[in-house]
Structure 1
Amino acid sequence: MFETLSSKLSGVFDGLAKRGALSEADVAEAMREVRLAMLDADVALPVVKDFVAKVRERAVGHEVLGSISPGQAVAKIVNDALIDALGGAGAVPLNLNAVAPVPILMVGLQGSGKTTTSGKIALRLATRER
């Protein structure tokens, strides 16, 4: 799921890389593609609408530095919005002070990466946290 979303978002940013400045039409087309990619990845419609609105607000009229392309600027804006949507700096850390074993519920469709993510969480907890 994340690989498909990532490849679709990369395609959107590659299309913007050739532009000299970000116009409202460019941002609208890119946000349409982002919206479709997120819906294809089974992201809830209210989350998608809120996310696209935030990115559009930040991206329209955004000044692009000479050292980066508009595609890179939009990628940064989308990255920042994704971090905000997933909790950002205000994310609550896992409370591992409970009596072991600490249950963590993993929910997702078949093939969406629950087992892989669980393994990554276990490795992180084993090496960094506990």
Structure 2
Amino acid sequence: MFDALSDRFDTIFKHLRSRGRLGEQEVDEVLREIRLALLEADVNFRVVKGVVARIKEKAVGLDLSKSLS
């Protein structure tokens, strides 16, 4: 279960590294992928909702070249 979740996050982060900044549309796409990965790993819906909300607060306009390196 954790291996599958880890693999999904690796894929998501590899996709993100190719971008310079995130707009709201890109953030929504990534959050959808994260939400699905967590729900498929049987994470509680309330926990997923909270995690996704916190990520969204911090992610819009984030400079990825500094954050993911």
TM-score (norm 1): 0.49
Q: Which has the larger radius of gyration?
A: 1
Larger helix percent: 2
Report if aligned partners of 1:23, 1:61 keep a CA contact under 8 Å in 2. yes
The 5 Å alignment of 1:1-130 reads 1-62=1-62, 64=63, 66=65, 68=66, 72=68
Label 1:65 to 1:46 Cα distance change in 2 as closer, same or farther (>3 A): closer
Greater RCO structure (CA 8 Å; 6+ sep): 2
Large movers: runs of 4+ above 2 Å:
none
- CA-atom RMSD, angstroms? 1.8
Structure 2 unaligned spans of 5+: none
Q: Aligned residue pairs: how many?
A: 69
TM-score (norm 2): 0.88
